[in-house]
A and B are shown apart, each in its own frame.
Chain A
Amino acid sequence: MKDNSMIKLLTLSAALLLTVSASQALAQGHGGDKPGKEGKGGGGEHAQGDKDHPGNGGKGNKPKDRGDEDRGDKGENRYQQAERDDDRGRGREYAGSNRERDRDHDQYRAYGLIKGCPPGLAKKNNGCLPPGQAKKAQRARYDFGWGQANDGFVHRYDDGYQYRYDRQGSLLGYLPALGGALSAGNPWPTQYRYEPAPRSQLDYYRLNDSSDYRYADGAIYRVDPKTAMIQQVVALVTGQSAAVGQRLPSGYDVYNVPYAYRDQYPDTANTTYRYNDGAIYQVNPKTQMIMAVIQLLAQKR
């Protein structure tokens, strides 16, 4: 009986060894057309494989150990809903591969676009004229910095808000602007929908206190949970996300992995790594397909 137990134990040991070896072979293989799950091996104690695709959680492989991630996951689901809503409003105007690759990004950043005539313009009773026409003299500096998005829209800024027009000049909606309506000391604009910042990003950016952290238009804001007053811009994010099996969006040509992870995630001929918004994307350099999304934790810098 004892001998039988020993044999079973040794067999179990051998089986476990094989399992360990196999997962390491996956982690080290960098083979090119592997599924994304090997990212878990690559993550080690500082990463979570393709555990949590920021902003796009429903599309990739679902993790088995989601545990306390419900909050972030719900937020991600709502982002997807918002994208669908926005898509209906905009129609399909993108063409060409780069535009297609970037479409999700633009929609993500457009989250929360408020429809209708902005309160400032309504007060002026000027028929919802574009602020550019209402304030021609100041246009040259007011448009500074907003005109680069190349997203098919025309952007104007006036009095705390960014306005979006189609190319024919029709107002599509408006958004509170960072540094404008979204400034420290201002109340969160009541009409502006927001999302709780994804849990994975709160963990990464070390924002685990009792404050309210809201994501909007490329930034995470700390907001007083009682008064809804904006306290600080605590992180900048591209808001751009992609899941395993999708192409890496354009604009990640330069190796940008945080110093502390460079030994662990170096570019090779068969695998490249790119950082964005608290995650490292493992990419096949030939196809630009994402092989794994490694959500970073904040222990290292």
Chain B
Amino acid sequence: MRTLTRLALTTLAVFTLAGCGDRPDATRQENSTAEAQAGATKLTLAATLKAGEAHAGLAKVLNNSGLMGALEGVGPYTLFAPADDALKGAGGADFTDAALKAEGAALLRAHIVPGALTRADIIGAVDRSGSKGAQMRTMGGSLLTFTRSGNDLIATASDGASARLTGQEVLASNGVLQPLDGLLARPSAAPN
């Protein structure tokens, strides 16, 4: 009897385990992006920015605005990183100035979207979207629209400012850094 009981329980356990094991295999689809995981560095976005010279100016603005701490956290975020020489406000306003902390924060939130967006993900979405482009919500509440122009990927903000995705993406441990050649915001027009 004890043997029979054990047999019954073992059978149940085997079927249950087999059932649990089925699911990941069944959902492992053609667009599995394990390579994204494998290619990710162990550095956070914040550490990536601090480690390199390529975005030293951007790192200063992130520090000044108080957003760098968030980029050290769990995330993930995708940071569309403007080239340092584009990171200026109207009239050459310097967002590393302590008086422009909030302006810098608002500006950079319009460059950060939730989740990990690889270049391949963006291309895939643009190709699916047809002519209207693929949209993503930013941490500033606005929408970015991605389109193709020849071989280039273009990001356009809701105020019409646009920039080209350039260079190499960096897959950080808590998100992706996507370099841009410009700023995704326009300075406001002078008041009437």
Q: Report A's interface with B, CB cutoff 8 A.
A: 2, 6, 9-10, 13, 16-17, 20-21, 24, 27-28, 41-42, 44, 105-106, 109, 132-133, 136, 139-151, 157, 160, 177-180, 183-184, 204-206, 218-219, 232-238, 240, 249-260, 262-268, 274-277, 298, 301
Pair A157/B135 contact, Cβ less than 8 Å: no
- The answer to the question of B19 belonging to the interface, with a C-beta cut-off of 8 Å to chain A, is yes
- The answer to the question of B167 belonging to the interface, with a C-beta cut-off of 8 Å to chain A, is no
Q: Which one of B11, B26, B93 lies within 8 Å of A141 (CB-CB)?
A: B93
Pair B116/A253 contact, Cβ less than 8 Å: no
Known pairs A139-B190, A143-B188, A232-B66; A237 contacts B101 (CB<8 A): no
A301 neighbours in B (Cβ, 8 Å): 74, 76, 173-174
> How distant is the Cα of A13 from the Cα of B54 in the complex, in angstroms?
61
Known pairs A157-B106, A238-B141; A256 contacts B11 (CB<8 A): no
Pair A178/B109 contact, Cβ less than 8 Å: yes
Q: Is the interface of B mostly helix, strand, loop or mixed?
A: mixed
Pair B142/A179 contact, Cβ less than 8 Å: no
B158 neighbours in A (Cβ, 8 Å): 148, 150
Within the complex, what minimum Cβ distance (angstroms) separates B81 from chain A?
15
Residue of A nearest to B123 (CB): A254
Residue of B nearest to A147 (CB): B188
Pair B188/A144 contact, Cβ less than 8 Å: yes
> How distant is the Cα of A260 from the Cα of B75 in the complex, in angstroms?
12
- The answer to the question of B8 belonging to the interface, with a C-beta cut-off of 8 Å to chain A, is yes
- The answer to the question of B131 belonging to the interface, with a C-beta cut-off of 8 Å to chain A, is no
- The answer to the question of B117 belonging to the interface, with a C-beta cut-off of 8 Å to chain A, is yes
Pair B31/A254 contact, Cβ less than 8 Å: no
B5 neighbours in A (Cβ, 8 Å): 6, 9
Residue of A20, A218, A253, A266 contacting most chain B CB atoms (<10 Å): A253
Pair B102/A180 contact, Cβ less than 8 Å: yes
Residues facing A in B1-15 (CB within 8 A) are: 1, 4-5, 8-9, 11-12, 15
**Given contacts A140-B90, A253-B136, A258-B115, could you give 15 more A-B pairs where the C-beta distance is less than 8 Å?**
A44-B23, A144-B188, A145-B140, A178-B65, A179-B67, A206-B74, A235-B70, A236-B77, A250-B143, A251-B136, A254-B146, A262-B36, A263-B24, A263-B28, A276-B114
Q: Which one of B15, B115, B136 lies within 8 Å of A20 (CB-CB)?
A: B15
Within the complex, what minimum Cβ distance (angstroms) separates A291 from chain B?
14
User: Top 4 closest A-B pairs, CB basis?
Assistant: A256-B115, A251-B137, A179-B105, A145-B106
Within the complex, what minimum Cβ distance (angstroms) separates A184 from chain B?
6
A-B residue pair count with CB separations less than 8 angstroms: 250
Known pairs A160-B102, A266-B31; A139 contacts B191 (CB<8 A): yes
Pair B114/A238 contact, Cβ less than 8 Å: yes
Chosen A-B contacts, 21 in total, with CB atoms closer than 8 Å, are A9-B8, A28-B27, A42-B23, A147-B159, A157-B103, A178-B106, A179-B67, A233-B66, A233-B67, A235-B73, A236-B109, A238-B138, A252-B135, A252-B137, A253-B125, A253-B128, A259-B116, A264-B27, A265-B27, A266-B28, A277-B114
Size bracket of the B interface: 35 or more
Known pairs A144-B185, A232-B66, A298-B74; A259 contacts B115 (CB<8 A): no
Residue of B nearest to A185 (CB): B66
Q: Which one of B8, B32, B37 lies within 8 Å of A266 (CB-CB)?
A: B32
Pair B115/A145 contact, Cβ less than 8 Å: no
Residue of A nearest to B11 (CB): A13
Residue of A nearest to B39 (CB): A259
Pair A256/B78 contact, Cβ less than 8 Å: yes
Pair A260/B124 contact, Cβ less than 8 Å: no
> How distant is the Cα of A2 from the Cα of B22 in the complex, in angstroms?
35
B124 neighbours in A (Cβ, 8 Å): 254-255
Within the complex, what minimum Cβ distance (angstroms) separates A8 from chain B?
10
Pair A144/B106 contact, Cβ less than 8 Å: yes
Map CB proximity to A onto B155-171 as digits: 1 under 8 Å, 0 otherwise.
Answer: 00111000000000001
Within the complex, what minimum Cβ distance (angstroms) separates A245 from chain B?
20
> How distant is the Cα of A22 from the Cα of B28 in the complex, in angstroms?
20
A133 neighbours in B (Cβ, 8 Å): 191
> How distant is the Cα of A133 from the Cα of B192 in the complex, in angstroms?
9
Map CB proximity to A onto B65-89 as digits: 1 under 8 Å, 0 otherwise.
Answer: 1110110011111100000000001
Pair B24/A264 contact, Cβ less than 8 Å: yes
Known pairs A17-B15, A24-B22, A254-B146; A266 contacts B27 (CB<8 A): yes
